[in-house]
Chains A and B, each alone.
Chain A
Amino acid sequence: MTFRVHVRVIPRAGLLDPQGQAVEHALGVLGFAGVSEVRVGKAIELGVDAPNAAAAEATARAMCERLLANPVTEDFVIAVEG
């Protein structure tokens, strides 16, 4: 069956994230107080054909390691629907 897979890719903790900084600054300008440690990553949604959820997750992990995330600078989180 086809599983809906959600991949979140996030700049690794400790690495400067200029996009997150810019968003944090803009939120402050808009009056949202008390916002800190904003980080901007990517959300990737996939339909993955697999016999079960564990297999779909394993496939998505391989995709992250090869292409979707850069192991030098990014971490990823995988969630499989259903």
Chain B
Amino acid sequence: MARIAVVRFPGSNCETETLAAITRAGGQATLLDYRETSIGHADAVILPGGFSYGDYLRSGAIARFAPIMDAVRAHAEAGGGVIGICNGFQILCEAHLLPGALLPNAPRRFAARPVDVRIERTDTICTGDYTAGEVIRIPVAHGEGRYTADAATLDALEAEGRVVLRYVPVAGTDLPFNPNGADRDIAGICNATGTVVGFMPHPERLADDAIGGDAGHRFFTSLVSRLAAGAAA
């Protein structure tokens, strides 16, 4: 069975939903304390949403140096699966496991609403059960989600197909669809092998029809089946 650890930092607040989403997708979910120095027998690690260390200094800047992060880095560099959701994405960028940075939202407000995102890449560790080009509606909840990187990095991400999720216009409206002013409407990216993935939206918050929809469920089924197949050992 796919074993997936969810790291709880001081200030994480999405770990419970993330654990539940993994379980619902058929994975074995375990909570991993940030003071640990090993990921144990986990096949993949998820850094969940929240406000680790109170977002002091910059989102993710201090969590990046938490004791568990050396083991997370080693797992990522060995080709293991590592996923960062929202604050987890910020931590992965601060840790330089993914390029770029996440800045305060351009519209000067916390963005807490559904967004439409297009699945740009399906051969990552957590998007295999979606169809390339599929648009799903899932929530965002962040004050600092404006993805940015220098032009050369952005061009490389595009050329290498490393944009995983992109905000797209909502059919039938002309409302602002990019909730934070992210460069090139980027909502999520991955490393070259698709095994380290970070994104701002919260699929774990919409992974069960009992709470209003399951558009995010397949991130977790994708991860579980990919790990079960051993493709990201």
Instruction: List residues of A whose CB falls within 8 A of some B CB.
Output: 11, 15-16, 18-19, 21-22, 42, 67-68, 70, 72-73
A42 to B106, CA, bound (A): 19
Q: Contact mask B78-119 → A, CB, 8 Å, 1/0?
A: 000000000000000110000011011111100000000000
A73 & B108 in contact (Cβ 8 Å cutoff): no
| List of B residues within 8 angstroms of A11 by Cβ | 103
List 25 contacting pairs A-B, 8 Å CB cutoff, sorted by A: A11-B103, A15-B148, A16-B103, A16-B146, A16-B181, A18-B104, A18-B105, A18-B106, A18-B107, A19-B104, A19-B108, A21-B108, A22-B108, A42-B57, A67-B57, A67-B61, A67-B65, A70-B101, A72-B101, A72-B148, A72-B149, A72-B150, A73-B101, A73-B103, A73-B148
| List of B residues within 8 angstroms of A68 by Cβ | 57
A38 to B102, CA, bound (A): 21
A51 to B146, CA, bound (A): 42
Out of B57, B94, B100, B103, which one reaches A15, CB within 8 Å?
B103
Task: Kindly state whether residue B3 has any CB partner on chain A within 8 Å.
Answer: no
| List of B residues within 8 angstroms of A21 by Cβ | 108
- Size band of the interface chain B makes with A: 20 to 34
Task: Kindly state whether residue B24 has any CB partner on chain A within 8 Å.
Answer: no
| List of A residues within 8 angstroms of B106 by Cβ | 16, 18
**Given A67-B57, A67-B61, A72 and B100 contact (CB-CB distance below 8 Å):** yes
| List of B residues within 8 angstroms of A72 by Cβ | 93, 100-101, 148-150
Task: Kindly state whether residue B58 has any CB partner on chain A within 8 Å.
Answer: yes
A18 to B94, CA, bound (A): 20
A52 to B103, CA, bound (A): 36
A70 to B64, CA, bound (A): 12
Q: Please list the 8 inter-chain residue pairs (A to B) with the smallest Cβ-Cβ separation, ordered nearest first.
A: A72-B101, A18-B108, A73-B101, A18-B104, A70-B101, A16-B106, A22-B108, A70-B58
A21 to B146, CA, bound (A): 16
| List of A residues within 8 angstroms of B94 by Cβ | 70
| List of A residues within 8 angstroms of B58 by Cβ | 70
| List of B residues within 8 angstroms of A19 by Cβ | 104, 108
Please give 16 more A-B residue pairs, beta carbons under 8 A apart, in addition to A18-B107, A73-B101, A73-B103: A15-B148, A16-B103, A16-B106, A16-B146, A16-B181, A18-B105, A18-B108, A19-B104, A19-B108, A22-B108, A68-B57, A70-B61, A70-B101, A72-B93, A72-B148, A72-B150
